[in-house]
A = this chain, B = another copy of it.
């Protein structure tokens, strides 16, 4: 297949691009490299050293013998987006090209407005460009499980059947997002749903859980293909952050009680889910939603898992509770459906001690790159 990956230089986008290229697809990358700039803005850096984009691409060409064309530009620039879509004429567009951190969106008004405008306008531009230049292309959009919030009923995959006052309908699942970032994804979902209905576009919204892990077969094949490992309070996801904290002798910082429960998945399953969605496209006019995660954990459970494995690599990890900087329930019901990707063939990598050990070892190996001052939350929701 001919696949365009918007945001293909990022934490999920890069391993996805490599994986799909390795599987024989024709992959093109679009990216504005904003994620690398945010490291500069925030004084953070990937725990693993990562090569610059053109070095990565040259190395992949040498390792795999496969070309991945790269278009550098911004999704807010419609002329650019339309020209890329018209030039590539993709069968599928994987859309990762958004600001993806909840804390980043909560820094202040400017970051909230930037996140929503960047994400919403980028997605609108992509919808119009597909309509104009590649109407049959399948849009594979990264959403988030955080769109649903933590309702007191089971979470379904995008839609729910409601019986009400003697009548019945299947309607979009109600959304109660946690941050201006999560809200931007809710806005996107509504916009895409409408574009499918009005224009007959085909789209899959992947409401992804929290990703852990860093390494895939392809990123491991050469140091210059390494994926980024974020561990800071703004971009670091919780399990990866705990491992970096343990490696540097910092206590594992659980926000509040730690009963916050979410869906999680290994990054190796992220890339496989994208492939499954691409190989099994939505129908014209269909707006399809999959919940893309494999297991549920509470934050406290993950801290305990890391603390238990740490001694195996010579570390001791203390778990501490700090005031929750976010506005969220610290203890709640959570049960979310996630069968549709399994039905398409996903065989999950469940969270293993071996994976935690790998993350800890990787963090120890690059320990001198850790900036402990970026662990503690400074961004408040209030």
Contacts and interface: CB of A to CB of B under 8 A. Distances in A.
A193 B128 CA distance: 29
Interface residues of A, number: 47
B176 A186 contact: no
Interface stretch (A23-31, A151-159, A358-366): A151-159
Interface stretch (A88-96, A194-202, A342-350): A194-202
Contacts of A327: 197-198
A198 B105 CA distance: 13
A352 interface: no
Nearest to A121: B113
A190 B186 contact: yes
Contacts of A109: 78, 124-125, 128
A161 to B, nearest CB: 9
Contacts of A169: 151-153
A154 B160 contact: no
Q: For the complex formed by this chain, how many copies does it contain in all?
A: 2
Nearest to A112: B124
A187 interface: yes
A327 B197 CA distance: 8
Interface in A155-197: 160, 162-165, 167-169, 171-180, 183, 186-187, 190-191, 193-194, 197
A163 B164 CA distance: 9
Contact of A167 (B117, B152, B163, B171): B152
A116 interface: yes
Contact of A153 (B117, B167, B190, B193): B167
B180 A168 contact: no
Contacts of A194: 177-180, 183
A333 interface: yes
A172 B162 CA distance: 13
Contacts of A179: 194
18 contacts: A78-B109, A109-B124, A109-B125, A116-B124, A116-B191, A117-B117, A117-B120, A152-B168, A153-B167, A153-B171, A154-B164, A162-B162, A171-B174, A173-B174, A174-B174, A183-B191, A198-B381, A199-B382
- Sorted from nearest, which 5 A-B pairs have the closest CB atoms? A152-B169, A171-B174, A153-B164, A109-B128, A187-B187
